[in-house]
Amino acid sequence: MNTPLRRVGMAMMAMILLLLGNATYVQVIKADDYRKNPLNQRVVLDQYSRERGQIIAADGTPLAAVQKTDDRLEYLRTYANGPVFAPVTGYFSFIYGAGGLERAEDDLLNGSDDRLFARRVSDMITGRDPKGGSVQLTVDAKLQQVAYDQLASQGLTGTVVAIRPQTGEVLAMASTPSYDPNLLATHDGDAQEESWQALTTDESEPMLNRAVHQIYPPGSTFKLVVAAAALAEGKTKDSEVDGRPSITLPGTNTQLPNFNDTICGNGTTATLQEALAKSCNTAFAVLANELGADKLRDQAAKFGIGEQDLAIPLSVVPSTIGPIEDKPSLYQTGIGQKDVRVTPMANAVLAATIANGGVRMQPHLVQKILAPDLQAISETEPDEVDEAMEPEHARALRDMMVESEKNTSGGGKLNGVTIASKTGTAEHGVDVSKTRPHAWYVAFAPAEEPQIAIAVIVENGGQAGQLATGGRVAAPIGRAVIGAYLGGR
Amino acid sequence: MGSPVPGAEGTPLAANNSAATSTSPGLSPPTRRGTELFMLAFAAVLVTGALILVEANQEKELTMRIVWLGLAYLGLLTVAHLAVRRWAPYADPVILPCVALLNGLGLVMIHRIDLAMADVKMPNGETWDPAASKQVLWTAIAVVLFCTVLKVLSDHRTLARYGYTFGFAGLVALLLPGVLPSFIAPEINGAKIWLSFGAFSIQPGEFAKILLMVFFAAFLVSKRDLFTIAGRRVIGLDLPRARDLGPLLAAWAVVVSIMVLQKDLGSSLLFFGIVLVLLYVATERAAWVVVGVVLFSGAAVLAWRIFGHVQVRVQNWLDPFVDPYGAGHQILQSLFGLGTGGLFGAGLGGGRPDEIPEANTDFITAVIGEELGFVGLSAVLLLYTVFALRGLRNALAVRDTFGKLLGGGLAFAVAFQIFIVVGGVTKLIPMTGITAPFLSKGGSSLLANYILVALLLRISNAARAPKSTPKPRQQQPAIADQFTVMVERPR
């Protein structure tokens, strides 16, 4: 009986070897897959057991912090003034993951970032509880509040983006309607699910960050790009351009009229400055055609339109001027219609670039990365991306925008401050006569020494409906934001 | 029946020679009880260290309670050790320390899971009945039972006389929960294998495993010749005669009825594996294994075709991601735990056992794999291997065929059970839901396995004790000096 017993022994060894082999497969080879699987709650639980870092505004106001709890997820994420800052902070949910900066800076906030490595080691040795790092933003808390209030108090759907032209710091980024990220941070799973359902099925899309994740036809604000290209081609603000009230698109019977069929200049020609100030469609359509699609595309690219993979560090949806397949398209592109689509962020960058003498700075939201003890680990250096315009062309364009501002209706004009601006009233939708236009306002001030550049869009013109224009709806909001910023200095 | 075991053949030869001529105690065969005590102390140190680590990692204060738990554990070990010293002095010195370490680690893990569950339940206002203290109580009862078996059963061959009685008792115990109404035999987690008496419940199947093994060993030893008669020869295999297939078919029928009546796939696989191994060892013919595997595979395929719960298990084995929140939840959480543990583990007390369902019973090895990593899980597997191989070695060394068969069967039972459990939680084979011997929570399992250890130690004592080796006597020259012994003829 000993021979079969020995064979049984061999069989037992074989079984154990099989188990060890399979355990190696599961615990060593497949380990990472299993560890990182979204169904594996351990990762989330571990994140919650470590104190997540804060998100704070430029002046130190905490926007996202943590609160110690006595339930299984040790730390509760809390957002002071949630809806105002939601487009910036994003949300942090144990069911739905993270959005906004919570996602973009997750490694730093949860403490796994390499920049925190040395501190993690020292925590391990000294026995301190490991904490995540914090993020200090460029966002001016008061300005953000003003921007949000301007939109929200009127129940508007839209966004305000403000940038410091010299550095690219994003001073404000409001988007309405907004949501309260506290609803998604709660440790009550059912409440979280309910809120998520409500927010994601809401037709007004409160969780959409319109500043960077939505593209709109820029309308007349795009004329700034065309004007810049024309200046680069040797035109001046006094060059004569087309001033007819209406033209026929080549090869079609379609009329392209000026707004309200306005006459520019003498009705045949007008200066470039007057054409921009009065926002003459015919002038810029013809100008676009003269320049050609390539020059237009180049100039747009220099302003950052068409840039892929922009992250501030929130990802920014690429803007585009479209394929421009034929002449009529080129004409329409010249007035920011057809397939031109930009994010409000891109339009704010456009204004900031002109304000900065033609030098385009990389927009960014994060000012400093802070260690858990709030010591700065790194600071964002202003990053010059491109020289979009010659300085004297930028100055010329600025002067033209100052004239434009003088021509712009709407309330809220500021005393003692010269604003350089351009409005836009962008038609969209299949039947443009029935859908209400988007109202745009891009501006910077003070024109002589710009400190702030902004882009404002109010979707579908807000309450003004069909009668909405950039000047009437968006300009007062922009002026209020500029006023608040300059007045607060 | 040559054996490499030193205590069985080599040393006794010299030792007994001298024992016959000299009274010098130093030359009697070593009992190795000191070695056992030393290894038990080592196990106690490891277990206490593990307990302290758990408390430290859970940021619990180190209280006197740990000391008491440690002392209780140490006391139980001492009792078991003393019992072995007294009633089975020549028993294998490695088996008991292996058991002590496994059982101790099991207690620590159960306590650790208690802490995790308390963390989950208490904030919700739910109560959680700590399982660890109950398990300590069960351990105490198991050790008492262990001592009793060692004392009462002075010779394992006595068991062979009651083979049929044990067989009948085992069959009743096995099938009882399946046929009894559900107020006394409730269906828990889809399996009808418990007998419930108010607050406490037992799993008769755990005891049936041992009872039936005794029966099969006794039966096969007495009817051994019958099974070695070859029938037809097919492709190099001597198939048994059709009429000799009786016991195998009976075992198959029992297993099928367990599958049908109790939905307990793990136990059916375990029983059938044990029966096959006993048959193979007794007859030394691989044909039995082939026939058995064919029979079992047939039953398994049939069960898969007919029963929904079998299909679900197989489906989860093939792809647990099909239903990650439902049927695949258990195995997925187990795999996530094992994967998160990785090579070195999350550390004792650093894992998330509350994520793994049935953490303190069927999935305890997954929790060990998460907190101690691949290294820790391997160590546990190797402990079982040492345990089983020592048992097997004693079976090889013991001289009577019944002891060989029973010892081999018991050793294999433990190894095979751990294969089914760990294979299940690591997705090597479909999950079948049985407990890990000594580690998992559960009184029945602990009691039964301590009886199993007592039997193994009894057999190893017979294998290693000088008097049970007749060889030296044959060498004694003067037959006139011999006294006569009554030899009872085994039935």
pLDDT digits (tens, 9 = 90+) for A37-80: 878 878 777 767 778 889 999 998 999 998 888 776 778 899 99
Report yes or no on A40 lying in a domain: no
Nearest residue in chain B measured CA to CA from A129? B59
pLDDT of res. B105: 94
Tell me, yes or no, whether B406 lies in a domain: yes
Beta-bridge partner residues of A158: A176, A458
Q: For position B485, what pLDDT does the model report?
A: 66
Location of structure tokens 């433990």: B414
φ, ψ for residue B200 (rounded to 5)?
Answer: -120, 145
- Does residue A175 carry a catalytic annotation? no
Which residues in A lie closer than 8 A to residue B58 (C-beta atoms)? none
Residue A89 pLDDT greater than 90, yes or no = yes
B319-341 burial code (b ≥16 CB/10 A, e <16)? ebeeeeeebbbbbbbbbbbbbbb
Helix (H) / strand (E) element for A426: namely: strand A420-426
Which one of B284, B340, B401 has the shortest CB-CB distance to A42? B340
Number of CB atoms found within 10 A of residue B200's CB? 11
Is the CB of B428 less than 8 angstroms away from the CB of A18?
yes
A220, A279, A319, A404: the active-site residue: A220
Q: Which residues of A touch B377 (CB under 8 A)?
A: 23, 27
CA distance A21 to chain B (A): 10
Total count of domains within chain B: 1
**CB-CB neighbours of B223 under 10 Å:** 13
Phi and psi (nearest 5°) for B337? -60, -50
- Burial per residue of A412-432, b for 16 or more beta-carbon CB atoms within 10 angstroms, e otherwise: eeeeeeebbbbbbbbbbeeee
Inter-CA distances, A206 with A84, A152, B394, B458, Å: 12, 12, 74, 75
> Cα(first)–Cα(last) distance of chain B, in Å?
23
DSSP class of residue B358? T
The answer to whether residue A467 sits within a structural domain is yes
The amino acid present at A361, given as its one-letter code, is: M
Beta-sheet pairing, A240-242 with A420-426: unpaired
Percent of chain A as helix, strand, coil, to the nearest 5 = 45, 20, 35
CB–CB contacts below 8 A, A to B: 136
* B28 lies in some domain: no
Q: Report strand pairing: A384-387 vs A359-361.
A: antiparallel
Q: What pLDDT is stored for residue A431 in this prediction? A: 63
Please give the Cα distance from B98 to B480 (Å, whole number). Answer: 46
Residue type, B127: T
Distance from CA of A148 to the nearest CA of B (A): 38
Would you call B383 an interface residue with chain A, using a CB distance cutoff of 8 Å? no
- The pLDDT assigned to B62 comes to 63
Nearest-Cα residue of chain A relative to residue B124: A71
- Inter-axis angle of helices B364-397 and B401-425, to 10 degrees? 160
In a domain, A248, yes or no: yes
In a domain, A329, yes or no: yes
Instruction: Give residue B302's pLDDT.
Output: 87
- Nearest CB to A4 within list B284, B369, B381: B284
Closest CA to A231 of A287, A310, A175, A171: A287
Handedness of CA B436, B438, B440, B446 (dihedral sign): positive
Instruction: Tell me if A57 is assigned to some domain.
Output: no
| Residue at B11 is within a domain | no
**Is A13 touching B (CB cutoff 8 A)?**
yes
Phi–psi pair at A247, nearest 5 degrees: -130, 165
Put simply, the answer to whether A39 touches B336 (Cβ < 8 Å) is yes
Percent of chain A predicted with pLDDT > 90: 44
pLDDT tens, residue by residue, A148-188: 999 999 889 999 999 999 999 999 999 989 999 999 988 88
Helix, strand, coil fractions of chain B, as percent rounded to 5 = 70, 5, 25
3-state secondary structure of A204: coil
Q: A8-22, A127-141, A255-269, B186-200: lowest mean pLDDT where?
A: B186-200
CB distance from B401 to chain A under 8 Å? yes
Closest CA to B155 of B439, B482, B457: B457
pTM: 0.64
Q: What CATH number is given to the structural domain containing A404?
A: 3.40.710.10
Question: What's the average model confidence in pLDDT over A293-300?
Answer: 91
| Sequence-distant (≥ 6) Cβ neighbours of residue A393 within 8 angstroms | A228, A231, A232, A358
Cα distance between residue B250 and residue A38, in whole Å: 48
What residues of A are in contact with residue B120 (Cβ under 8 Å)? 72
Alpha helices in A256-343 (DSSP H): 272-277, 281-291, 293-302, 327-333
Read off φ and ψ for residue A234, nearest 5 degrees. Answer: 105, -5
Q: Is residue B284 situated within a structural domain?
A: yes
Average pLDDT, chain A: 87
CB contact under 8 A, A5 and B404: yes
Provide the β-strand partners of residue A247.
A256
Yes or no: say if A285 and A331 are a contact pair by the CB < 8 Å rule.
yes
* Cβ contact, residue pair B392, A12, below 8 Å: yes
Cα–Cα distance, A456 to A439 (Å, whole number): 8
Nearest CA-CA partner of A473 in A151, A146, A212: A151
Residue B149 lies in a domain: yes
- Domain carrying residue B250: 33-463
Cβ-nearest to A72 among B123, B338, B408: B123
Q: Name which of B120, B374, B412 is nearest A28 (Cβ-Cβ).
A: B374
Around Cβ B118, how many Cβ atoms within 10 Å? 16
Is residue A465 domain-resident?
A: yes
pLDDT for residue B20: 42
Q: How does pLDDT run along chain B (491 residues), one tens digit per residue?
A: 344 444 444 344 444 444 444 444 445 678 888 889 999 989 988 998 888 888 877 766 666 777 777 788 889 989 999 999 999 999 999 999 999 999 999 999 998 998 888 877 776 667 777 888 888 889 999 999 999 999 999 899 989 899 889 988 988 888 888 788 877 778 777 777 788 776 677 888 889 889 989 988 998 888 777 776 766 676 666 666 766 677 667 777 877 777 677 777 888 888 889 988 998 998 888 888 888 888 888 888 888 888 888 888 888 888 888 877 778 888 888 999 999 888 888 888 888 888 888 888 889 999 999 999 999 999 999 999 999 999 999 999 998 999 999 999 999 999 999 999 999 999 999 888 788 999 999 889 999 999 999 999 999 999 888 764 455 555 555 656 666 666 676 66
Side by side, the strands of the sheet bearing A420-426 are A170-176, A158-163, A452-458, A438-445, A420-426
User: How many Å is the Cα radius of gyration of chain B?
Assistant: 24
DSSP state, A131?
B
Position B127 scores a pLDDT of: 74
- For A15, the domain range is 3-31
The tally of domains found in chain A comes to: 2
